[in-house]
Structure 1
Amino acid sequence: MKKLTKIMLATAAAASAATAGFAYAAPGGEGRPDQTRAQAQDHATKMFERMDANKDGKLDKADREARQTARFDRLDTDKNGSLSREEFNTRPQRAEKAPDGQKAEGRRGDGKHFGGRHHGGRGGGKHGGFMMKQADTNNDGAISQAEFVASHLAKFDAADADKNGTVTSAERKAQHEKMRAEWQAKRAAQQPKAQ
């Protein structure tokens, strides 16, 4: 069971890494504050630093495995080397900031945070691998910080419809709808035709 669970966690970790820079088109982004390009670049840089588990300046298989092992170890609360259904379904507490900037009490993930779309709970799989390949512009099997930030900013620029250097909630929503329509058209084109 441990091996199967680790494979599932690896998929989630890869999806998280792949989709991290693509949050501009994610559903639910309408309520987020406007973001400037400089803020997006800073966010991407900090995200890369968190994801680079071994601090070697690139995101690759070693980082995915390190995150997968760390997550497995956090979930394996009885430390027996396997995850029960209860352990697997448990979401770790996350510290959040209160409106005044102080840390608020942690709370369980509710599908909108740790295990939800934003962190790869949905939307990974084959699409995650495709997005990773897009970010790996020199095709070396790893994503450097420069590649990661460039990919993040390309998605920002695509969402910034009026090219004023700020992505608004309306632009996020429009980008999400555009990407959804493109995905649905591609999916429909791949469906076998009924005879």
Structure 2
Amino acid sequence: MATLYYRPQALETIARHTLLQYDAGYLSGRPQAVPIETIIEKTFGLRIEYQYLTNDARELGRMIYDSGVTTYYDRDRGDYALMRVEGGTMLIEASLLEDERCYGRLRFTLAHELAHYILHKRIFSGTGVAAALYNHDTDEDATEWQANYLAKALLMPNGQVKRCFYALRPVCRSKSEFVCKMAEIFEVSKQAMEIRLKEFALI
């Protein structure tokens, strides 16, 4: 399966078009958290289901392209089991819902799986490969790098981030203050926001 190569600027453009597809006026409005669940369900018609995917949460998300059978971890039995799943289903690790400190990671996982769908559906559909996996502690291959980049571009849109940064300049006195306030506004982790601000050479 050949993977298309996307340059960062192309991924920024895809993110912008995706957000405009959701709401033509979104990017010109005040900086705010991207409604990623609404975009997934309403704009793309995908389903989000929460399941315990593994016994140790090493896999955070799984994009299902073709109807079939996939695995999940049955906590009651303490073992893996099979379940039928429809194509166009996004499986998200249920433990992300159990700790409010994971909210930023939950939103990033949703955006990451949507990015896989947008970028890689043609690669995986009809191949018998059930999913592109989001695993937070493995080395990234090309598809994972692309999905991670598009995810941050969706959650922290270029123009919105810059507009928010300059609006906060009169009140923020330090790098950490910018990171904290902007992470709160965009509902992402501080780590993700810091990376994004450094990409734009804002901090």
TM norm. shorter chain > 0.5? no
Normalised by the shorter chain, which TM-score bucket?
under 0.3
TM-score normalised over the length of structure 1: 0.25
TM-score normalised over the length of structure 2: 0.25
Work out which structure has the larger RCO, using CA pairs closer than 8 Å and 6 or more positions apart in sequence: 1
Which has more helix, going by share of residues?
1
Which has more strand, going by share of residues?
2
